[in-house]
Amino acid sequence: MNLYYLGPVGTFSHMAALNYNGTKINDYIPKSNLYEVVNALEADSNSIAIAPIENSIEGTINIIADSLTEKKVHVIDELHLDISFSLYTNKGTQLEDIKEVVSIAPAINQTSKFIKEHGFTYRYSDSTVQSLEELDQHTAAIAPIGLEDRYDSIEALHTHIEDYPHNTTRFLILSSQKKSVQQATDSILLITPDKDKPGLLASILNTFALFNINLSWIESRPLKTQLGMYHFFVQADCSAEDDNMKKVITILKTLDFDVNVLGNFKKIL
């Protein structure tokens, strides 16, 4: 089985991929941006991909949330990773020489206080490790802690530069194939209303509450066709095969919601 991840080697996605032991992986294949990670699944049916969906400082990683609404992919597992960043420069660069920092948008957002305190401007790259290619005498990179052991030419001028401690990113394991699981602990639904109406979100939440199903994640993303209309992601502490969950899905459908089960998996964490 191939596993696609956001490269190059050394990204948080790569670390998360190496930590994933839900299935035997023959090849870890880096992709150059998050779109390509999800797209790779379509062309390779015997593969899985790992992608960040939520960070404790930054919130939802919208590129991936939007991909889940657009692509035919299934969530087969999830994995949490501790996240800590360093500020990297070419060896010899002094802190006072740095004018600009480069990194992927979620990493810039997780270190925004540090960036502001130092008066740096910032620019986006496709991944934390890819930003190391942008280093020059006035440019620094924000990337995973510990990379100076891997690259001789760089040094870490600051470590643990994330805005809050206990920083964690939740990754989803995605597959183009549905996987049937015994005793699933979690399910992820994408719930899409056909039109706006009063109490729309309340009717979704009340249906889960009625059947005593706890929700661990709820997020909305714009439909993109009209202002004020949203898809709702819901993650429940319950299998999609559970009788109560089946009733919830039936009720939501009779209330004219489109309900797509994106994932049903046994959380190992």
Ligand X SMILES: O=C(O)C(=O)C[C@]1(C(=O)O)C=C[C@@H](O)C=C1
Residues forming the site for ligand X (CB under 6 A):
6, 11-13, 52, 55, 61, 83, 104, 106-107, 127-128, 169
Q: How far apart are CA 35 and CA 77, in angstroms?
A: 19
Min separation Cβ 55 and ligand X, Å: 4
52/193 with CB nearer ligand X: 52
Q: What is the chain's alpha carbon radius of gyration, rounded to the nearest angstrom?
A: 20
Min separation Cβ 243 and ligand X, Å: 36
Strands 186-193 and 47-55 come out as unpaired
Min separation Cβ 3 and ligand X, Å: 13
Min separation Cβ 130 and ligand X, Å: 7
Rounded-to-5 percentages of helix, strand, coil across the chain: 30, 35, 35
Contact, 132 vs 139, CB < 8 A?
no
Write b or e for each residue in 34-64: b if 16 or more Cβ atoms lie within 10 A of its Cβ, otherwise e.
bbebbbbbeeeeebbbbbbbbbbbbebbbbb
Burial class (CB in 10 A: 0-12, 13-18, 19+), 117: exposed
81/259 with CB nearer ligand X: 81
123/253 with CB nearer ligand X: 123
Q: How far apart are CA 195 and CA 187, in angstroms?
A: 25
Q: H/E element holding 103?
A: strand 100-103
Min separation Cβ 142 and ligand X, Å: 9
2/203 with CB nearer ligand X: 2
Min separation Cβ 207 and ligand X, Å: 31
Min separation Cβ 107 and ligand X, Å: 4
Give pairs for 131-138: CB < 8 Å, separation 24+.
131/102, 131/103, 131/104, 132/88, 134/102, 135/88, 135/89, 135/90, 135/93, 136/90, 137/90, 137/93, 137/97, 138/97, 138/98, 138/99, 138/100
Min separation Cβ 24 and ligand X, Å: 22
104/204 with CB nearer ligand X: 104
Q: How far apart are CA 84 and CA 75, in angstroms?
A: 26
6/191 with CB nearer ligand X: 6
8/22 with CB nearer ligand X: 8
Q: How far apart are CA 3 and CA 1, in angstroms?
A: 7
134/242 with CB nearer ligand X: 134
